Amino acid sequence: MRRGSAHAQRRRPARAWESRGGPPAPPPPCVQSSPSARPRPASLSGSSSIGRRCLFLLRGLCSSPVASMAPRRRGAGLRLCATVFLLGMAFCKGFVEDLDESFKDNRKDDIWLVDFYAPWCGHCKKLEPIWNEVGLEMKSIGSPVKVGKMDATSYSSIASEFGVRGYPTIKLLKGDLAYNYRGPRTKDDIIEFAHRVSGALIRPLPSQQMFEHVQKRHRVFFVYIGGESPLKEKYIDAASELIVYTYFFSASEDVVPEYVILKEMPAVLVFKDETYFVYDEYEDGDLSSWINRERFQNYLTMDGFLLYELGDTGKLVAIAVIDEKNTSNEHTRLKSIIQEVARDYRDQFHRDFQFGHMDGNDYINTLLMDELKVPTVVVLNTSNQQYFLLDRQIGSAEDMAHFIRDILDGTVPAQGGDSILQRLKRIIFDAKSTIVSIFKSSPLMGCFLFGLPLGVISIMCYGIYTADTDGGYIEERYEVSRSEIESQEPGEDSKEQEPSDGATLGPTVQEPKDVLEKKKD
């Protein structure tokens, strides 16, 4: 998958290919980061011109001459600068529509790029300024895609209808179709996604000049060559599923460059790594699965998001874990070895392996639940969380290729996995890492979060313990008093029986009144 943030030329809309001969010259460094400083089409609205003037005015007021003013004038200038800045922020927000329940019935007439958010979500708050820039950029370039946002907590029924399960969720809605965005949350990548998905599913390449232009603009793209056939139907089905990741084109045999050799027609090709590869149904299997595997370049700069996406390909990932700030020979040597294997042994390993390097070992340590020494090489199986560590010295690309062959043969033991024991270990490791990170970032917050519950639990345990002790003491006293009463009862009975033996020993018991009256009668 092409990483849009690394290519400034991808900021142009996909529909402007025919009208432009090549990528525009980059703006000066002082204005390069400003969205309003990029080239605009002739159809730019008056509101966009106002916004550009506000941004230039803001830059001028906040420059160094303001600092050299007198205190009173400098304070007035800073207040004006802040006012213009707030106006600019409000201007950017004006291109992002707040959607309500009426959106469900009115959306099908247009193409919408919608951010489903929650007001309490921290990631949503980070995305908000980026989303405002996306709305401004899409409006300024004349894109047919409308940008909006919806509070998914207030309109939960509409959000659930679109399959929103987390926040923020970015979707492009095109008729009855809804496409999920899963890329990095940067302005360039989001805009590139909107251009790709909002356009035609299969884009035609009518000429060699257009083909060369697409080849310069995209690092990875797929082309169907030929007429109507069952293969084209499969190609269309795969494109409808994977258009969120890459571009799909169609061309005739005459448009393809002369260095492309086709053994049979029709054919599906992928162009990447300054070469091309032809789909073979017998060796590569399902077309959609092949496209999903081949949508990445053979060598990549790895990060956590990219490793997550590579899990869908079923490939093993060979990574050189290095410190890019360290220019020692060992760090650069391992990176060069991995690059050489990816380039020279591609025909042997491209179906099973993906290659790349990663800066630092923090993310790898969380995956492996272990501490890796840098530099090193690790091979990850992202589909089942297994990994392979070096068991030998790697001095050349041939040594690395031999190590990879041993992994494929099963002679190198796999570590990790997704067994029950490993899952329990993962839970303990994640809990420990979370606690440690909280105490490192904010000790007071950590003491409050963990000290307060522990204090409450301690008080409850103490109350339960003391309640049991008092109850036992009461029961013991009750048992003692009962035993004393039972020991006194036999003595009292004997005292009551002594007068019955002799009539003269005590006073007689008085009979009841009714008995005396009967005797008198």
Can you give the three-state secondary structure of 81-100, one letter per residue?
HHHHHHHHHHHHHCCCEECC
**Residue 63: its pLDDT value, please?**
45
Q: What angle do CA 216, 222, 223 make, to 5 degrees?
A: 95
Specify the DSSP class assigned to residue 176: T
Respond yes or no: is residue 81 known to be catalytic: no
**191-221, pLDDT tens digit by residue?**
999 999 998 999 999 999 999 999 999 999 9
205: left (phi over 0), alpha (psi -120 to 50) or beta: beta
- From 54, 81, 92, 124, the catalytic residue: 124
Mean pLDDT in residue range 142-147: 90
Q: How far is CA 31 from the centre of its chain?
A: 31
pLDDT surpassing 90 at residue 459: no
pLDDT for 365 equals 86
- What's the confidence (pLDDT) of residue 486? 60
Nearest of 231, 367, 359, 204 to residue 291 by alpha carbon: 231
- Give SS3 for 361: coil
CA distance 465 to 253: 86
Q: Report d(CA 276, CA 267) in Å as an integer.
A: 12
pLDDT in the model for residue 519: 53
The confidence score (pLDDT) of residue 52 equals: 47
Describe the crossing of helices 420-441 and 443-501 by its angle, rounded to 10 degrees: 110
Q: Is 470 exposed, middle or buried (0-12, 13-18, 19+ CB in 10 A)?
A: exposed
What contacts 24+ positions apart, CB below 8 Å, involve 85-91? 85/58, 87/54, 88/51, 88/54, 88/55, 88/58, 89/132, 91/47, 91/50, 91/51, 91/54, 91/136
- Report the alpha-carbon distance of residue 31 to residue 140 in Å, rounded: 17
pLDDT greater than 80 at residue 81: no
Q: What digits encode the pLDDT tens for the residues 38-60?
A: 333 333 333 444 444 444 444 44
Contacts of 390 (CB under 8 A, 6+ apart): 376, 377, 378, 403
Dump pLDDT digits (tens) for 220-266. Answer: 999 999 999 999 999 999 999 999 999 999 999 999 888 998 989 99
Of the candidates 54, 121, 447, 461, the residue annotated as catalytic is: 121
Q: Is the peptide bond before 375 cis (omega within 30 degrees of 0)?
A: yes
Among the ranges given (46-60, 139-153, 155-169, 402-416), the one the predictor scored with the smallest mean pLDDT: 46-60
Q: Provide mean pLDDT across the span 72-91.
A: 51
* C-alpha closest to that of 169 among 160, 145, 101: 160
Q: What is the per-residue pLDDT for 369?
A: 85
How far apart are alpha carbons 142 and 43 in whole angstroms?
7
pLDDT confidence of 493, banded at 50, 70, 90? Answer: low
Residue 177: burial class (beta carbons within 10 Å; 0-12, 13-18, 19+) = exposed
Q: Which residue has the higher pLDDT, 467 or 385?
A: 385
> From the DSSP assignment, how many helices (H) and strands (E) are in the chain?
19, 16
Please state which of the ranges 5-19, 227-241, 489-503 shows the lowest mean pLDDT: 5-19
